[in-house]
Chain A
């Protein structure tokens, strides 16, 4: 039911058809180093856009810009038609997957509650209303069974579910996921993608930063590929081709489609170590 709320919510304040996230001619530089420029991107309610690219291509900078933590050098960035500000309830943020310390003094339900009131001053007092809302959020991500378990004792996949519940606590129009699958095994990756996709189907726009496309290939609407020699936006079929990636990397890159998976491999001998195409390692290990 919380998902139905969010769909209403998305339509109520901004005019119909307003994208949840919109970038126009956006550019970001640090000093003289331009990370990306002329970036145009719309993410509409119910759409999932994957952001791909090698390390250093500006994925994290994009996340920080959307969160309102990093101003653009040029261009426009709007979340539901407004400039983003730090702490906006319109944006749910799932940080990079890393294991939570086992001795952290929080249970799963406390982590979720932080998404509702963790930013407020004072001391969190027990509240029936909060408890009910947290129970709903836990149920929506399939985490009801371990709501009272210390977060540090949950598996990596369980922790991600709980983090997603925290991120969607404010019924955000945009869900921003920064490498949420990092170091999860395939089964857990699938589960976490399932939870995020359920949210997308209910009308939330999702910007999904990842270094490997395959876990989200079935649910992705568009891809933004950030690379050293530029970027490209389009469907996976348009962007993930030998021709387009070779152009983006400025060197020959082979894209193979095999069994519903995309394998990206450098054929030229001199791909820079730091910017080897995403998927290269995973392509060999997993299929």
Chain B
């Protein structure tokens, strides 16, 4: 085995136009994944993301088998999982067990459908580990429309949803429809996962929906900068991953996961240094400790 299989920039100018669609899809996914990831972190739902992605995989595999649109199958699988988790798993403990039950079932179904599928095996593994040139025009359109829908919904619900995520009791007391928003969030999450499955594959969705936001919260706590950084990190991982993967023969996902992991490590180190120095300077004032 040679390094050429992993990093290879021969014929780069000839290959690049072939992946324009993928690059756009990756950029859209970075935007959506970075934002949704912030909410996933605030709601402590990393495990749910993984659970949803396995059912999304099953949906996509089923669609592949019966000759339907794979993106559509993926979306349907995601939404079923997201709504089940949202309805049955209101409390964190219930949620984890529901996810633990759904996840192997979804993965098993997916494996079954793929085993029955007579077509090329590259398509099969693409669903699990991602593929660079998988995004044709109709699929790109679907993904861009999905992103637009997710972004529009997030723009409307962002503030109350963040309030409900970090402090459900306080938000409910202020009249925030906590239950309703949590279902809205599950649908948004389902759509985002279905998109991510198309690019990085079901097994590695976490690298775009969890890692960027986790990295961002290591270096900032500003409700403006955390989403901005998270989106930047997710985009850099997704787009950068495709650009690096282009010449090699390995799947795209290791590039994406490595970039996103590297960003996380850097942020963690920076965050630790910042934490030791006392993250944000406290303003010296004589009033501290003197209420009223």
Using a CB–CB distance below 8 Å, which chain A residues touch chain B? 67, 69, 85-88, 91, 93, 95-96, 100-101, 103-107, 110-111, 114-115, 117-124, 126, 139, 141-142, 144-153, 161, 163, 166-167, 176, 191, 194-195, 197-198, 201
Measured between alpha carbons, how far is A145 from B288 in the docked complex, in Å? 7
Indicate if the CB atoms of B158 and A142 lie closer than 8 Å: no
CB-based closest 7 A-B pairs:
A87-B175, A198-B292, A150-B221, A93-B173, A118-B163, A194-B291, A105-B226
Which residue of chain B has the shortest Cβ distance to A117 in the bound complex?
B159
Measured between alpha carbons, how far is A85 from B174 in the docked complex, in Å? 10
Q: A93-B170, A122-B158 are in contact. List 14 more A-B contacts (CB 8 A).
A: A87-B175, A95-B173, A103-B41, A105-B217, A105-B221, A110-B222, A110-B223, A120-B160, A123-B159, A124-B158, A142-B291, A145-B287, A149-B280, A194-B291
Indicate if the CB atoms of A95 and B42 lie closer than 8 Å: no
The one of B44, B170, B222 in contact with A105, judged by C-beta atoms closer than 8 angstroms, is: B222
The one of B176, B227, B279, B284 in contact with A149, judged by C-beta atoms closer than 8 angstroms, is: B279
How many interface residues does B have (CB within 8 Å)? 47
Indicate if the CB atoms of A121 and B169 lie closer than 8 Å: no
Indicate if the CB atoms of B160 and A198 lie closer than 8 Å: no
Measured between alpha carbons, how far is A2 from B42 in the docked complex, in Å? 31
Residues of B within 8 A of A67 (CB): 172-173
Indicate if the CB atoms of A145 and B166 lie closer than 8 Å: no
Residues of A within 8 A of B174 (CB): 87, 93, 114-115, 118-119
Measured between alpha carbons, how far is A104 from B42 in the docked complex, in Å? 6
Indicate if the CB atoms of A119 and B163 lie closer than 8 Å: yes
Q: Chain B 158-186, CB within 8 Å of chain A: the 1/0 string?
A: 11101100110111111110000000000
A149-B282, A191-B291 as given contacts; A69 in contact with B172, CB under 8 Å: yes
Which residue of chain B has the shortest Cβ distance to A202 in the bound complex?
B292
Q: Chain B nearest CB: distance from A216 CB in Å?
A: 14
Measured between alpha carbons, how far is A146 from B221 in the docked complex, in Å? 13
Measured between alpha carbons, how far is A166 from B176 in the docked complex, in Å? 15
Indicate if the CB atoms of A139 and B171 lie closer than 8 Å: no
A86-B175, A95-B170, A105-B42 as given contacts; A145 in contact with B285, CB under 8 Å: yes
Indicate if the CB atoms of A121 and B159 lie closer than 8 Å: yes
The one of A105, A124, A126, A144 in contact with B159, judged by C-beta atoms closer than 8 angstroms, is: A124
Indicate if the CB atoms of B172 and A191 lie closer than 8 Å: no
Indicate if the CB atoms of B291 and A144 lie closer than 8 Å: no
- Show 11 residue pairs from A and B whose CB-CB distance is below 8 angstroms, ordered by the A residue: A100-B166, A101-B44, A101-B166, A103-B218, A105-B227, A106-B166, A107-B222, A126-B224, A150-B221, A153-B279, A197-B292
Using a CB–CB distance below 8 Å, which chain B residues touch chain A? 38, 41-42, 44, 155-160, 162-163, 166-167, 169-176, 214, 216-218, 220-224, 226-227, 275, 279-285, 287-292
Of the candidates A87, A95, A123, A124, the one having the most CB atoms from chain B within 10 angstroms of its own CB is A123
Residues of B within 8 A of A123 (CB): 155, 158-159
Q: Chain A nearest CB: distance from B24 CB in Å?
A: 24
A105-B226, A117-B159, A123-B158 as given contacts; A141 in contact with B176, CB under 8 Å: no
Q: Chain A nearest CB: distance from B103 CB in Å?
A: 24
A122-B155, A123-B158, A124-B159 as given contacts; A104 in contact with B166, CB under 8 Å: yes
Residues of A within 8 A of B292 (CB): 142, 194-195, 197-198, 201
Indicate if the CB atoms of B220 and A105 lie closer than 8 Å: yes
Q: Chain A nearest CB: distance from B75 CB in Å?
A: 25
The one of A96, A153, A198 in contact with B291, judged by C-beta atoms closer than 8 angstroms, is: A198
Q: Chain A nearest CB: distance from B122 CB in Å?
A: 39
Residues of A within 8 A of B163 (CB): 114, 118-119
Residues of A within 8 A of B222 (CB): 105, 107, 110
Indicate if the CB atoms of B291 and A141 lie closer than 8 Å: yes
